[in-house]
């Protein structure tokens, strides 16, 4: 039987059964906070600095002061991984507004709270990476920039949850979310890439897509392979008629799509560009990153 996880809360490690927050925490009451999901592979945290920078940028955007330095946040994350003796897995960093009274005012919260969870994750079954996902279009739209910037990874993911419910009820693996103008933004938790005639396309961040860390890595890998990489607004038509279609995300990694809105994508199997980028992604995750244990060596 596996040992209970150790969870970091505000500078202390607790057994998961004892890891609790107040019912008056504004993260619970109002979704008032930010988070990051981070992967670690082979005793290395992948793209650690980029994730930490984005966490602090999200916090600044919502006027939330993180009560520790970036270096202290990294150490808390590494300490939590070590306490659980993990070597490959997933980290969830959460910063809530903290404990306050009932009522929306954030100024009633004296201090933000930091939670670090380190565990394992498998978003999709292994066979999905060989066969591909089934996608459907969701009626729930991606919130527009004038409500909340998609660059902010806030604790309020209700629109994404509602879209995910739609996808699951339609017997699909994932759902495509459009923006208010009807263009493709992203999936409920992943970025989208289209391959057509050897060129790779992806929606720009101004279309409502999160500027994902894995998204940026895949763009770097594609450009290193010599592919033309274009960020452009796309309708569902461009997805329907794609030669290849794949998603990227920290939890999902790089995952192919075989069916979208009952249209078979390309040959119905993962295409050569998707397979190449997936192989390149696996290679870089296994050989680079911030060391977790003293014996870890970064290539």
Show which residues are catalytic.
153
Widest CA span in the chain: 57
Rounded to whole angstroms, the Cα distance separating 56 from 34 reads 9
Is 92 in contact with 45 (CB distance < 8 Å)? no
Rounded Cα–Cα distance for residues 31 and 26 (Å)? 7
Structure-derived torsion over alpha carbons of residues 147, 151, 157, 159, reported in degrees to the nearest 10: 50
In angstroms, the CA 59 to CA 57 distance is 5
Contact by Cβ (8 Å): 43, 296: yes
Say if CB 289 and CB 298 are below 8 A apart. Answer: yes
Distance CA 209, CA 200 (A): 16
Ordered strands of the 89-96 beta sheet:
12-15, 6-9, 113-119, 89-96, 33-41, 44-45, 290-291
């Amino acid at each position: 039987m596996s040992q209970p996880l150790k969870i970091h809360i505000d500078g202390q490690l607790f057994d998961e059964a004892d890891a609790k927050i107040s019912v008056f925490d504004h993260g619970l009451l109002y979704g008032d906070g930010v988070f990051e999901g981070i992967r670690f592979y082979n005793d290395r945290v992948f793209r650690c600095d980029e994730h930490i920078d984005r966490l602090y940028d999200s916090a600044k955007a919502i006027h939330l002061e993180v009560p520790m330095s970036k270096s202290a946040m990294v150490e808390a994350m590494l300490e939590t991984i070590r306490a659980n003796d993990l070597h490959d897995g997933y980290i969830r960093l959460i910063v809530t507004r903290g404990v306050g009274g009932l009522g929306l005012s954030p100024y009633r919260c004296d201090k933000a709270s930091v939670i670090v969870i380190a565990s394992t994750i498998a978003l999709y079954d292994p066979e999905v990476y060989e066969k591909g996902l089934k996608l459907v279009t969701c009626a729930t739209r991606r919130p527009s920039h004038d409500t909340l910037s998609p660059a902010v990874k806030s604790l309020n993911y209700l629109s994404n949850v509602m879209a995910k419910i739609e996808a699951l009820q339609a017997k699909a693996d994932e759902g495509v979310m459009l923006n208010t103008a009807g263009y493709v933004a992203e999936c409920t938790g992943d970025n989208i890439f289209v391959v057509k005639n050897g060129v790779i396309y992806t929606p720009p961040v101004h279309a409502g897509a999160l500027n994902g860390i894995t998204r940026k890595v895949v763009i770097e890998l594609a450009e290193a392979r010599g592919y033309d990489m274009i960020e452009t607004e796309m309708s569902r038509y461009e997805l329907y008629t794609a030669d290849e279609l794949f998603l990227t995300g920290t939890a999902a990694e790089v995952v192919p799509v075989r069916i979208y809105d009952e249209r078979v994508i390309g040959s119905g199997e993962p295409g050569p560009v998707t397979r190449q980028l997936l192989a390149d992604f696996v290679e870089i995750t296994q050989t680079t990153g911030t060391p977790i244990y003293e014996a870890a060596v970064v290539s």
